[in-house]
Amino acid sequence: DAGITQSPRHKVTETGTPVTLRCHQTENHRYMYWYRQDPGHGLRLIHYSYGVKDTDKGEVSDGYSVSRSKTEDFLLTLESATSSQTSVYFCAISADRFEGHEQFFGPGTRLTVL
Amino acid sequence: KQEVTQIPAALSVPEGENLVLNCSFTDSAIYNLQWFRQDPGKGLTSLLLIQSSQREQTSGRLNASLDKSSGRSTLYIAASQPGDSATYLCAATNDYKLSFGAGTTVTVRA
């Protein structure tokens, strides 16, 4: 299994509070991604990173920010959590974005915003 | 925008039967087609990756085919077992982005 950990694994928070999720990898892969998974919507990309300090938006980036100060860590921040951000969040990594490079997924973080 | 569709949404078969899972995509300019397995409450496990230049990929009882021109991929699971019960997701890679289908939930009855 690819060395990807996510923390916390479960979190319950209240509307309006800031929340930071962490993804840590031991594979030294260049690309890191944050997805959310919701019933009826499947998996959708929030943000991705193509190197240290290099990030870009995915299809559902509103309300989220990211940072990557080290190759191994990719942080997802909800500046002011809303109930619509209740979801399961997955981090993924890949060595590159081209043909032949798989994306590997972490175990997920279940976030509940009350 | 890439749209990925998986049919059927659910499938129930007796143990030993072969499984056929279908995936279609609208944009054929893909780098890869990746198949995943997801157990309830768990993360995604990568099963197979087919590069755009390949027609199929095999791993044990699993075989996946890719036809870019028609925008289709099929996952075959031979001699199904109860342990194969899970949701199977396909995802197409365009540039950096994976676009996922909604999945096929498989139940293998003992």
Q: Are strands B72-77 and B19-25 parallel, antiparallel or unpaired?
A: antiparallel
- Tokens linked to B41: 């409450």
Q: Is the pLDDT of residue A1 over 70?
A: no
User: Chain A: nearest CA to B96, how far in angstroms?
Assistant: 5
Residue among A85, A76, A80, A77 at smallest CA distance from A112:
A85
Reference A78, options A105, A46, A51; nearest CA is A46
As a whole number of Å, the CA-based R_g of chain A is 13
Report pLDDT digits (tens) over A17-42: 999 999 999 999 999 999 999 988 88
Q: Indicate if the pLDDT at residue A2 is higher than 70.
A: no
Q: What type of residue sits at position B83?
A: G
Q: How far is A80 from chain B (nearest CA, A)?
A: 26
pLDDT in tens, A71-82: 999 999 999 999
A58 with B97: Cβ contact below 8 A = yes
